[in-house]
Structure 1
Amino acid sequence: MMADFDSLIPGAPLPEALRDVPPLPAFAEASLAFVEALSARLIRMPEARTYPELTALGFWMRRANLGRLRSNMKARAGAALLVPRGTVLHIAPSNVDTIFVYSWFLSLLTGNRNIVRLSSKPSPQADLLVGAIAELLADPAHSEIAQRTLLVRYAADDSITAGFSAVCDVRVIWGGNNTVEQIRRLPIAPTATEVAFANKYSLALIGSARWLEADASQKTAWIEAFYNDAYWFDQMACSSPRLVLWLGDTGQVQCASADFWARFEQYLESNQQRFGDADYVNKLVAEDTLAIEANVSICPTSSNDLVRVWLDEPALHDTLHCGAGLFFEAALPTLDAMRPLLNRTVQTLSYAGVETQVLRDFVAVTPLAGIDRIVPFGHALDFAPVWDGFDLLRVFMREISVA
């Protein structure tokens, strides 16, 4: 397989050779030191500062946060005896440049060997990351990580993916539904396991009464947080809000919505970079298609960086959504009116102007068909070990019982 893929780390082991290298203990000092070193490098790199997602990644990898991850894992595991599963194959997505590092590092920290297939889509963020990783792995101080790590790129090719799949103990698929379906056709070892993260759709919830009561500084903070959630990855991250739900009576919703979007448009004028030409065309097609298929109103905006489509009836319309600043909107008289929307494709509910306890009570009343996480505005893109309902630290480890 050597001629069929590009190894991004000079001197990296062949996939067949990985199985001969024993796993490390969970949260071994070698793993912690490597992750901390990459964190320091990203935080210091001037080029990385132009990409907020790289800055966020650098802070996530700090030693203090790694210590919290370790403590939380121990607390959740209790007396269970956990060991690494072996070799983990990560299929990274093309829409979020940094997700491969989070997935890889959670597996790395739990002691596993790793094969990471990066997207072939051009990405300056991914190139910066790979360059920094390659430099660190060339340092003899990180040789224990280097001999357990293979980062690769190759054009979609089932035979290459099948070869990597044959040597893995866990296969992690990050991508759209088509990617998941395609790769699931390829076998893994009978003793291996798999977890897939397919297309998901996320919502924003705003309490109209609380918005109207808030002072200007609070509104500005919510606006900035909402922008970061939605626009960092051109609204294409699974956790970026696409449907905005306004909680309250008709009068409150109308006033709050008008004020929110007026402030948001002002924020866009000084903070938003232009989308690609295709994005603007795709949004026009999406709103025109929706206008034909459902009862909607196209809300006027001062810039095509923001497109608003008001829905008379709350609905996901997920197959029509193309990102790039397209927001569907609807009113909710009560939280219970949201329940019919919540199927398994709904991932994140970000919120502002709603009490956390109210949301906890909403979840506790009866099992929800959808929603994997509920977070305040500004935290939709925060990565956590529990993702889409899977505790990845446990996915990457197996339990040995001693009677």
Structure 2
Amino acid sequence: MMLDYESLIPGSSLPEALGEVPPLPAFDEASLAFVEALSARLMRMPEARTYPELTALGFWMRRANLNRLRTDMERRMGGSLLTPRGTVLHIAPSNVDTIFVYSWFLSLLTGNRNIVRLSSKPSQQADLLVGAIAALLADPAHREIAQRTLLVRYAADDRITTRMSAVCDVRVIWGGNSTVEHIRKLPLAPTATEVAFANKYSLALVSSVGWLEAHEAQRADWIEAFYNDAYWFDQMACSSPRLILWVGDAGQVETASTDFWARFERFLAGKQERFGDADYVNKLVAGDALAIEADVGIRPTANNDLVRVWLDQPALHDNLHCGAGLFFESMLPTLDAIRPLLNRTVQTVSYAGFGAQLLRDFVLASPLAGIDRIVPFGRALDFAPVWDGFDLLRVFMREITVA
């Protein structure tokens, strides 16, 4: 059969032939060895060290972390009898180059066969990653994984996606709302299931008192952590903070935010590479468009790598945000005042200056209309098996009951 897609792994099976290869047991040694080998390869590659996202990925794939994943899964599943679902089709996004690996590996570790459709958008990171994967899968030591893996690229084509969907037991869609809506219209096998990760919006929450009471080293750590959360992936990851909410009275907020941004601008001057010309224009347009909708103030900054727009009335304004170092800001008198802002598009809240127990109590006090995860500054981009409220290790397995 002539291929109507680009296969990134030489000698891969056709999608229709994957079903002839039995799944592996969850956390089989063949799967663990492959993931660990890719981790080691990324950590050794000089080119990969220029991309902190690849370094973070290599760190996530270490055997010690894989063992933690397994232990945590077994604890949460208890005595359930779980088995791989079969074949999982992953539709990867274009804005986060490494997300396909996390999705694929959680499915791989639970024993499934996998088809991964990568974005056709040019990316040096993705090319480095795919090259490392292809080299490992060409090694006979990883034949068990190569037999169960198909990595492909093709331009948007419903016919090809339908072909891939016809052989899968789970379809995972990563992308914008329009992508999710479109692919959901394409048929799946009657016994297959689907999970979608559409547009989400994330914010940062800072206790003004907590910031002002923190020692110098803590503030420096928070500044670097916030930079990593926001500027990796040019602020376009769904978990990157876009709205900054300062909690406290007006005087506390003014003092804390002035100190925070002064420190951040000094840090940014030594770290940030220049954005594209279009990014600067988009931020200007976003600020002007927001000024038409609401009472705002454009706060002065040293250069256009950082743009601050103060909102007199806190709101998400997610449809106007373009990333690339654009931050909406506002203040809340109390933590509880965030509740009216929340809806199902709110994914990650990264925080500084609050205690974790206080935030847990906040969540338990009353059901939240939004928020999938709350993490300290520096962990917004950390991938976890529970994402957007879905336990992916559980999604990729089915339960057998014995009465």
Question: Matched residues, percent identical?
Answer: 82
What does the per-residue CA deviation read over 1:5-64, in whole Å, with 9 as the maximum and x for residues that have no partner?
Answer: 000000001000000000000000000000000000001110000000000000100000
**Matched residues in 2 for 1:190 and 1:76: separation?**
29
SS of the equivalent of 1:375 reads strand
Amino acid at match of 2:264: F
Aligned to 1:174: 174
Q: How does 1:288-307 map to 2 (within 5 A)?
A: 288-307=288-307
Is 1:223 the counterpart of 2:223? The answer is yes
- Rounded to whole Å, the distance in 2 between the matches of 1:35 and 1:98 is 14
Matched residues in 1 for 2:66 and 2:370: separation? 29
2:215 and 2:69 map into 1 onto residues whose CA distance is 36
Q: What CA distance in whole angstroms lies between the structure 1 residues aligned with 2:216 and 2:362?
A: 29
2: CA distance, partners of 1:249 / 1:187: 53
TM-score, structure 2 normalization: 0.99
Partners of 1:271 and 1:292 in 2: how far apart?
Answer: 33
Deviation, 1:266, is: 0.5
Matched, 1:349 2:349: yes
- Separation (CA, whole Å) in 2 of partners of 1:335 and 1:231: 26
The 3 A distance-change label for structure 1 pair 315 and 2 is farther
Residues 219-248 of structure 1: per-residue CA shift (max 9 Å, x gap): 111000000000001000000000000010
1:292 deviates by: 1.1
- Give per-residue Cα distances to partners, 1:377-401, cap 9 Å, x unaligned: 0000000000000000000000000
Distance in 2 (CA, whole Å) between partners of 1:273 and 1:146 is: 38
1:217 shift after superposition: 1.4
**Match in the other structure for 2:397:** 397
- How far the C-alpha of 1:210 sits from its partner, in A, is 1.4
CA deviations 1:350-388 (Å, max 9, x no partner) are: 000011111111000011010000000000000000000
In 2, Cα distance between equivalents of 1:212 and 1:110? 45
Letter in 2 for 1:125: Q
2:125 paired residue number: 125
Please state if 1:155 is matched with 2:165.
Answer: no
Q: Counterpart of 1:283? A: 283
One-letter amino acid matched to 1:227: Y
1:40 equivalent to 2:40? Answer yes
> Within 5 Å, which residues of 2 pair with 1:124-143?
124-143=124-143
Aligned residues: 403
Equivalent position of 1:11 in the other structure = 11
Give the whole-Å Cα distance in 1 for the aligned partners of 2:12 and 2:133. Answer: 12
CA distance in 2, matches of 1:148, 1:215: 52
| TM superposition shift of 1:215 | 1.9
| Matching residue of 2:56 | 56
Correspondence list, 1:2-401, <5 A: 2-401=2-401
User: Match for 1:169: what amino acid?
Assistant: D
Q: What SS class does the counterpart of residue 3 from structure 1 fall into?
A: coil
Bigger CA drift: 210-219 or 242-251?
Answer: 210-219
Q: Deviations over 1:141-185 (max 9, x none)?
A: 000000000000000001000000000000000000011001001
Show CA shifts across 1:173-212 (max 9, x none). 0000011001001010000000000000001001101111
How far apart, in 2, do the equivalents of 1:376 and 1:274 lie?
27
- Alpha-carbon distance in 2 for matches of 1:340, 1:173: 29
In the TM superposition, residue 2 of structure 1 has moved relative to its aligned partner by: 3.9
In structure 2, what is the Cα distance between the partners aligned to 1:361 and 1:63? 34
Report the AA paired with residue 273 of structure 2: Q
Structure 2 CA distance for partners of 1:100 and 1:2, relative to 1, 3 Å:
farther
Query: Structure 2 counterpart of 1:305, which letter?
Result: D
Unpaired segments of 5 or more residues in structure 1? none
What runs of 5+ residues in structure 2 fail to find an aligned partner? Answer: none
Q: Using the alignment, how far apart are the partners of 1:215 and 1:360 within structure 2?
A: 24
Tell me the distance in 1 between the aligned counterparts of 2:176 and 2:289. Answer: 22
What is the deviation of 1:336?
Answer: 1.1
CA RMSD of aligned residues (A): 0.6
SS at match of 2:102: helix
Matches of 2:213 and 2:335, distance apart in 1: 20
Rounded Cα–Cα distance in structure 2 between residues aligned with 1:47 and 1:296: 43
**CA separation in 1, counterparts of 2:371 and 2:179?**
22
Q: What secondary structure sits across from 1:316 in the alignment?
A: coil
| Amino acid of the structure 2 residue aligned with 1:293 | E
Aligned-pair CA distance for 1:116: 0.1
Alpha-carbon distance between aligned partners in 2 of 1:350 and 1:124, rounded to the nearest angstrom: 28
Give the drift of 1:3.
2.8
In structure 2, how many angstroms separate the alpha carbons of the residues matched to 1:66 and 1:126?
22
Distance in 2 (alpha carbons) for counterparts of 1:67 and 1:268: 36
SS of the residue aligned with 1:94?
Answer: coil
Cα distance in 2 between the residues matched to 1:130 and 1:340: 43
